[in-house]
Every structure is written in C-alpha cells, then in structure tokens.
C-alpha cells in the first residue's frame, strides 16, 4: 500500500509531510518510555509485513498490521510506522523518501483511529476480543486503502480508476488482516493483557 515516487502532486506531498510530522510529534510526546521495547517490536512487525508485496499501478498491496500496531500503541503508532517506512524505502525501495509523509498518513491515521475506536470496543466487550480484533484489523486496512485512493484522486482525476482498483485489490488483505489481528489480540488478552489499552478491564473480568 505504498505510493511510489513521482506520482503525487506537490500540494498532496506537502500536506502528507505536515500531517505526518504532527502525528509523529504527538506520538513521541505521548510515548510511555517504559514501552519503547513494545514500540520497536511492533515497528519491526510492520516492517516485515510489507516484504511480500504485489504491485498495483503506482502502489502495492501487502500485509500491513497497522490495525494491530494502532490498537496496542495509540499515537505511538505514528513514529513506529514512520521508522519502518524509512527503512523500507532505504533498504527495499518500497514507496520513497518524497512520499514518506503521505505513506505514513495512509498507514498511521487508521492505526490511531483504531486505538480510539476499537480499544474502547474491546474494553466494553472483553468476552469477544477476537471478534473486536477482527473488526479492528479489517477496518484499519479498509481506511488505509480509502486514504490511499483519496490521495491519488486529489492528485488528478486520471488516477480515479487506479484508486478504485487499489481499494478492491485490498479486500482479501482486509480479511487476512482481520483474522491475524483477531488471533494476536485474543492471544495477548490471555498471556500478556497489560500490553493492551484495556488491561484494567481485562484484569477485572479475568482475575487470576
């Protein structure tokens, strides 16, 4: 789901860079430094998820894990995803340096939304964390695909058909992401619930 160099217009690139800078600054400010290891681990998972990708026009589809990253990290997902995207661009030429801001917004914005929407959902629905996790993973990729499509359309009407193709092509990824996120959230809720943003709720409902 990376956008390549030389595709987007200058205003879209500038807007993406500004939004990514703000999100990263907020993420670093809110970061709990006791959880830096978790941030690094999830950044690495995000990095690895994109190693197998399928090109679709000026973008590509692959596993993302932004729903999982966002649910576990909140605003800290912004710097975590930014670091992974920088390494992907430098080591494997996925995306690019000029599109770094836009690609960060595409991945991180749905991640942060997932934290506020689905973290609370799981907190009030602790008995069905796997279902909530599936919704989280599925919706995060859906929002990323829609955000990517929007950036292409804002660059020019000629990209409208490709934008629709990117969204449709990511439908299987949405389902896979939902399943993987459901498994991870369900597993963590049992073995290490303190990693989740609803740890206090889980500890009350599942006393040891």
**DSSP secondary structure, the chain, as one string:** -PPPTT-S-HHHHHHHHHHHHHHHHHHHHH--GGGHHHHHHHHHHHHHHTSSEEEETTEEEE---HHHHHHHHGGGHHHHHHHHHHHHHHHH--S-STTHHHHHHHHHHHHHHHHHHHHHHHHH-GGGHHHHHHHHHHHHHHHHHHHHHHHHHHH-GGGHHHHHHHHHHTHHHHHHHHHHHHHHHHHHHHH-GGGSTTHHHHHHHS--
208 residues of the chain, pLDDT tens digit each: 778 888 888 999 999 999 999 999 999 998 888 889 889 999 998 888 877 766 666 556 678 889 999 988 989 999 999 999 999 888 888 878 999 999 999 999 999 998 888 777 776 666 678 888 898 899 999 999 999 988 988 887 777 888 888 888 888 889 989 999 989 888 888 888 777 765 554 444 444 4
Can you read off the two tokens belonging to residue 190? Answer: 């049992």
What domains can be seen in the chain, in order of their start residue? 10-205 (1.10.1760.20)
Q: Which pLDDT tens digit goes with each residue over 100-122?
A: 999 999 999 999 998 888 777 77
Q: Which pLDDT tens digit goes with each residue over 33-51?
A: 888 988 999 999 888 887 7
d(CA 25, CA 22): 5
Which pLDDT score, from 0 to 100, does residue 172 have?
86
Entry pTM = 0.85
């Amino acid at each position: 789901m990376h956008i390549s160099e030389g595709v987007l217009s200058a205003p879209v690139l500038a807007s993406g860079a500004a939004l990514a800078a703000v999100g990263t600054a907020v993420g670093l400010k809110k970061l709990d430094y006791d959880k830096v290891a978790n941030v690094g681990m999830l950044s690495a998972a995000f990095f690895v998820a994109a190693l197998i990708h399928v090109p679709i026009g000026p973008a590509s589809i692959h596993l993302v894990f932004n729903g999982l990253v966002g649910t576990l990290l909140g605003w800290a997902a912004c710097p975590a995803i930014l670091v992974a995207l920088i390494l992907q661009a430098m080591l494997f030429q996925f995306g690019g340096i000029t599109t770094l801001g836009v690609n960060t917004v595409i991945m991180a914005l749905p991640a942060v939304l997932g934290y506020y929407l689905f973290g609370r959902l799981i907190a009030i629905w602790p008995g069905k964390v796997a279902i909530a996790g599936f919704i989280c993973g599925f919706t995060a990729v859906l929002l990323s695909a829609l955000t990517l499509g929007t950036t292409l359309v804002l660059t020019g009407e000629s990209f409208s058909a490709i934008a629709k193709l990117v969204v449709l092509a990511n439908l299987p990824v949405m389902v896979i992401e939902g399943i993987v996120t459901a498994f991870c959230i369900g597993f963590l809720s049992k073995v290490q619930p303190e990693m989740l943003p609803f740890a206090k709720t889980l500890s009350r409902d599942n006393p040891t």
